[in-house]
Structure 1
Amino acid sequence: MSTLIKGGTVLSPAGGVPADVLVEGEQIAAVTAPGVFGTADIVFDATGKYVLPGGIDAHTHMEMPFGGTFSSDTFETGTTAAAWGGTTTIIDFAVQAKGTSLQSTLDKWHEKADGNCVIDYGFHMIVSDVNDSTLKEMRTCIDAGVSSFKMFMAYPGVFYSTDGEILRAMHQARETGGTIMMHAENGIAIDELVAQAIAEGRTDPVEHGYTRPSALEGEATSRAITLARVTGSPLYIVHLSAAEALSAVAEAKDAGQNVFAETCPQYLYLSIEDLAKPGFEGAKYVASPPLREKKHQGDLWRGLRTNDLSVVSTDHCPFCFKDQKELGRGDFSKIPNGIPGVEHRMDLLHQGVVAGEISLGRWVETCSATPARMFGLYPRKGVIAPGSDADIVIYDPAAKQTLSAETHHMAVDYSAYEGFELSGKVDTVLSRGKAVVSPSGFGAKPGDGKFLPRDLCQYLG
C-alpha cells in the first residue's frame, strides 16, 4: 500500500521546504521535490499545510497510582487523545513500588499497555527503592529497551531518594549508559512548609504553590547537577518550571556537562493565578512542580530558543475534578497531582510559533526530533526521511480551534485550557503509514500501537 502526501511544506529542525512524501507500507520511501510522483494508492493533498514528523511525548502517566487513586486516562484513551493531537509516540513511566523489583514493575506496565495502545509507546522506569538488586536490574532494563530511569528528590516516604541513593544510581547509569531523569524539588523542606501551612489553617489549593517555592526547585536542580558532575552521569531534568532551575541547567550546559531539561505547556501558559481560582477551582491546576508566577514564562520561552530547554513534554497525569481532585477539599496536600494535556501539546507549542517565541524548526525539534534522539528512537522516529517510520502529521496553520472539555478526547472532566483560542490544528495523522486521524474521522484501534524497545541516548558522548 502506497501513500503520497503532496503539495505541503515538510518541516525539520532546519525549517521548512516544499516537498512531497511517499510512503510504502509502514515506512517513508522517499522525500522529493513536488510533483515527482504522480499518484499512489492513497493521496493526501497538503497544499497550504505543514508536513512534520509525528510528535513524541516523552513524559506521560497513564493509569498511574497516586494518593489512593489512579490517573483517569487508560493506555487506550490516553493514546487515542495523543493521536488526535498529533502525537504518534508516548513514553510512559513504569512505577516501582517499595519492596518490588524493576522486572516485576516492567512486567506489570506491559500488562497495562500491551494490546491497548493505538499509537507506539515505550517506557521509562521510576526507581523508588535503591538497593543492590535494583541497581543490577538497571542493566536488565536497558537490555529490555528501557534505558532511562526517573528518580525523585520530592515525595518523602513514597518516591524520595536520598543524595546517597541518587549517587549510587548515577554511578550505575554511567557504567551502563542509562540516563537518569530527575524530579528536582527539595521534598524534605517542602514537607515542612506543607505541615506549617496546614497547622495554620491554610488549606486552599493555592497553598500547593506557596509551599513549593521556585527556590527549592532551583536548589534541588543545582544539587542534582552537582551529583551528576561528581559521578560523570548524564542527567535529564523533568518538567522544569522555574527560572532558578533553568539558570542552573544553562550554567551546567555552558560548562560542557551532559545536562538536559524539558518543560511542559502548563508552565508556558498557566500560572499560580490559576491555582488561586475561587471555589476550589484551583485544584484543577495542582501539579508538581506547581504553576509559577507569570514572570517565569519569559525565561522558559527563552530557554527553548537557546536550547537550554531541549524538549517539551506534557507530564500528562489527569485526575477528574469530581471524586478525584475533590479528595483534597479542606487539605490541599491530598489533591492528586497532575494536569491533563497530552492532546494539546503540539497545538500549544505551535502558538509559540505564531507569537514569534520559537521558530518552526524549534517546534519540530522540541516536540519530535530531540525527544527521539534523547531517548534512543532516532532515526526510526522524529524525522521525515527515507527508512524512517511513517509517523507523519499534516498540520493546517490556518485552522482555528477553541479548546474545551466538551470536545477533547482525554478521559477527564475538565480542560486546563478551557476556552483557549488557538491558531492551527491537526488535519491528518499517520502512524506507521496508517491514517489514524483524518478529516473523515478516527481510524485506529487498540493494539495498533507497538512497544518500542529503545536504544541509549544519542546526545551523550
Structure 2
Amino acid sequence: MSPLPPVLIRGGTVVNADREQRADVLCVDGVIAAVGEGLQAPPGATVIDAGGQYVMPGGIDPHTHMQLPFMGTVTQDDFFTGTAAGLAGGTTSIIDFVIPDPKQPLMDAYRTWRGWAEKAAADYSFHVAITWWSDSVHADMGTLVQDEGVNSFKHFMAYKNAIMADDETLVNSFKRSLELGAMPTVHAENGELVFLLQQEMKAKGILGPEAHPLSRPPAVEAEAAQRAIAIADVLNVPIYVVHVSCAEAAEAIARARARGQRVYGEVLAGHLVIDDSVYRDPDFAFAAAHVMSPPFRAPEHQAALWRGLQAGHLHTTATDHCTFCAAQKAAGQLDFSKIPNGCGGVEERLSVVWDAGVNTGRLTPSEFVAITSANTAKLFNIYPRKGCVALGADADLVVWDPAATKTLSAATQFSKNDFNIFEGRMVTGVASHTLSNGRLAYVQGDLRVAPGQGRYVKRPAFGPVFDALSRKAALSAPSSVHRAMAA
C-alpha cells in the first residue's frame, strides 16, 4: 500500500477538551506530526484552508449497532454504510456491540462481529454484552480483555425472555470486570416492569406506538440505574450507564458521584432535542420510526440532561445508531411491542449537539469536544491516541465550519435508512472536512471512502486504579468512596 500524502490544515483554531489555540496541524503517515503556527507544507502535501473554522478531534460514538440482528430482522446500515455516514458528519470512530445469544459462547459471537466489521470505513472497537453466565463466560471475558483489547462489557437490564441479564449475572460479571480491569456498562430499564406494563397496555387495547413510552416510564429506568449503581458500589467497580434519558436516572448518577462513587453517564443526541410527542402522531410510520428504548421523554427531561452535561455528571454523547426502515417497523403495526427498537443519528450527532449546545451557550467548544470525543477516549482507555489534537495522536480530525448551515433529511443523508429522526431540523455548524487516519474521507459534501479502510482498535485494560479497587474489595468492607477517574 502506498503511503498517504501529507495533509496540512492551515489557519484554523484547534479545539481540545482543555483549550483553544490558533494553530496549523500537519498529518503524516496517519498521525499528527506537528501542531503549531506557521507550519510549512511538505512536498506533495494537500493543504486545507481552515480560516474561520475549528479543527477538532474526530467524534467518537461510544454506542452504535451496525448490522445488528434484532427482533427478527437486521439493521439497514452495516459496518461500511454506518461508518461512512459517521465520517460525513465528523465521527471518525465508533464503539459497537457484540451481543451473544443466550448460551452462545462470547468468543463465537465476537468472531462473527469482527468478520462483519472488516468492511468498516472508519476505526471501530467493541463492547461485548454479557447475556448469560457460566464458567465459559468467565473464561471468555479474560480472553477478550487480555488478547482482543476489549475493556468494557454491556449488560441489558431490559428485554425479558431475550437478552436480559438478571442480578446474579450482573454481580458475577461486575466482579469479573473488576478483576480484569474492564468497565461494566448497563442499559438501565427494569425488564420485569417493562414486560408487565406492555401486557397491561395490550389488555387495555392500546396497541399503537403511543403505548411504547407508557410501558417504559422514567421510573423503570431510574430503578434499574439505581440498582446497577448500588451493585457496583458494593463491589467497588466503576460503572457506565448508557443512554440516560430521564431526570430521575441522571439524578441517581449525580447522587452517586457526590458520594464519591465512580459512575459515568451517556446521553443520546436524540434525547437532547426530541420529545415524546412523536409517539402520538397519527401517522403510524412516523411514530414507529421513533420507537427506541429508552423512549423519547417529555421536554423537562431534555433540560435535565443538558444540566447533567453542563455540570459534569453526564460525560459522553452517543446515538445508539440502529436503523430499521419503514417496512421493518411495520412488523408492529398491530402490536407496538413488535416494532423493532432503534433510530439513527451517527451522521447528525455532532451538528445536533453543536447547534443545540454551543450555539445556545449551553456548551463551550472545548466542552463540546469533551462530550463528543475526549471523554469517551479517556473512559475507554484510548486517550491520547484518540480524542485530542496533539503530536503523535491518530490523524482523526474534523474541520468544523461554525457558520455553515444544513437541513437534516433522509433525502440527503448517507445512511441507508429511509427515515431521519431529525428530519427538517436546520443546524448551524457542520463538518467541512473529515480526516480518518490522515486520509481525507469527507470533503465539502464529497464522501471519499471504501470498504475496509477502518481499523480495529484495541482498548487496553485499566491498570493501577482498578488494581487498587480490586484489593480494596477483597480486603475491606464495601465503601462508597472511590478515587475519581479523570474524565
TM-score, normalization by structure 1: 0.97
> Letter of the aligned partner of 2:454 in structure 1?
G
Q: Does 1:363 align with 2:368?
A: yes
- TM-align CA RMSD: 1.3
Q: Supply the distance in 1 between the matched residues of 2:259 and 2:139 (Cα, whole angstroms).
A: 31
Q: 1:218 aligns with which of 207, 214, 222?
A: 222
Q: Supply the distance in 2 between the matched residues of 1:145 and 1:3 (Cα, whole angstroms).
A: 30
What is the aligned partner in structure 1 of residue 331 from structure 2?
A: 327
Q: Supply the distance in 2 between the matched residues of 1:282 and 1:153 (Cα, whole angstroms).
A: 25
**Aligned-pair CA distance for 1:247:** 0.5
What is the aligned partner in structure 2 of residue 57 from structure 1?
A: 61
Q: Does 1:398 align with 2:394?
A: no
| 1:59 match: secondary structure | coil
Q: Does 1:119 align with 2:122?
A: yes
Deviation digits for residues 15-49 of structure 1 (CA, Å, limit 9, x no counterpart): 3211111111111011102x242565111000000
Q: Supply the distance in 2 between the matched residues of 1:354 and 1:130 (Cα, whole angstroms).
A: 46
Q: Does 1:139 align with 2:142?
A: yes
**Aligned-pair CA distance for 1:411:** 1.1
Q: Supply the distance in 1 between the matched residues of 2:375 and 2:445 (Cα, whole angstroms).
A: 31
Deviation digits for residues 143-185 of structure 1 (CA, Å, limit 9, x no counterpart): 2111110001111111111112101111111111111110111
| 2:62 match: secondary structure | strand
What is the aligned partner in structure 1 of residue 377 from structure 2?
A: 372
> Letter of the aligned partner of 1:288 in structure 2?
S
Q: 2:425 aligns with which of 420, 423, 427?
A: 420
| 1:93 match: secondary structure | strand
> Letter of the aligned partner of 1:228 in structure 2?
A
TM-score, normalization by structure 2: 0.92
Q: Does 1:387 align with 2:392?
A: yes
Q: 1:236 aligns with which of 209, 226, 240?
A: 240
What is the aligned partner in structure 2 of residue 439 from structure 1?
A: 444
Where structure 2 has 5 or more consecutive residues not aligned to the other structure, the ranges are: 464-483
What is the aligned partner in structure 2 of residue 450 from structure 1?
A: 455
Q: Supply the distance in 1 between the matched residues of 2:435 and 2:14 (Cα, whole angstroms).
A: 14
Moved over 6 A (4+): none
> Letter of the aligned partner of 1:341 in structure 2?
G
Q: Supply the distance in 1 between the matched residues of 2:88 and 2:6 (Cα, whole angstroms).
A: 23
Aligned length: 458
Q: Supply the distance in 1 between the matched residues of 2:20 and 2:117 (Cα, whole angstroms).
A: 35
Where structure 1 has 5 or more consecutive residues not aligned to the other structure, the ranges are: none
Is the contact between residue 266 and residue 314 of structure 2 (CA under 8 Å) also seen in structure 1? yes
What is the aligned partner in structure 2 of residue 246 from structure 1?
A: 250
Q: Does 1:297 align with 2:306?
A: no
Q: Supply the distance in 2 between the matched residues of 1:13 and 1:76 (Cα, whole angstroms).
A: 29
| 1:221 match: secondary structure | helix
Q: Supply the distance in 1 between the matched residues of 2:39 and 2:223 (Cα, whole angstroms).
A: 56
Is the contact between residue 17 and residue 388 of structure 2 (CA under 8 Å) also seen in structure 1? no
| 1:261 match: secondary structure | strand
Q: Supply the distance in 1 between the matched residues of 2:365 and 2:444 (Cα, whole angstroms).
A: 24
Is the contact between residue 26 and residue 39 of structure 2 (CA under 8 Å) also seen in structure 1? no
Identity of aligned residues (%): 40
Q: 1:36 to 1:65 in 2, by over 3 A?
A: closer
> Letter of the aligned partner of 2:256 in structure 1?
A
Is the contact between residue 24 and residue 36 of structure 2 (CA under 8 Å) also seen in structure 1? yes
Q: 1:57 to 1:197 in 2, by over 3 A?
A: same
Aligned runs of 1:326-345 on 2, under 5 Å?
326-345=330-349
